[in-house]
Amino acid sequence: MFGLAELNWGDTPKDQAAAKDFVLRVLDLALSRHRWEELTYEPPRAKGYLRTYRSMVEEFDPATAGGGTDVLPGPQEAAMASCVRHRVLDALPFWEGCVFCTAGV
């Protein structure tokens, strides 16, 4: 099972705050429907899921994390797996692939 406390949020309070801020900014961007028009469908529950996930992250204190080995993919890993055609970061092997390439469109 995936849990926020199992991620490695960084060793220092500064790194942890930066990591949390990054995740919140990504979620805010998603909530602003950034590039949703490129989806081939209207995700009816996405907004609710994103809001729930965002409040979980908001309330989460990275200092309580176990410092696990699961880390958020760094820029290098993400860039290595970005889909040039769709301008999407795949973050392989964390995800299966570009959401558009694998959508079968």
| Residue type, position 28, single letter | D
Q: By CB under 5 A, is residue 86 in contact with Zn ion?
A: yes
| Residue nearest to Zn ion according to CB distances in the complex | 98
Q: By CB under 5 A, is residue 101 in contact with Zn ion?
A: yes
Q: By CB under 5 A, is residue 53 in contact with Zn ion?
A: no
- The footprint of Zn ion on residues 61-80 (CB under 5 A) is none
The total of other beta-carbon atoms located within 10 Å of residue 23's CB is 20
Distance between CA atoms of residues 64 and 48, nearest Å: 26
Residues at the contact surface with Zn ion, assessed by CB under 5 A: 83, 85-86, 98, 100-101
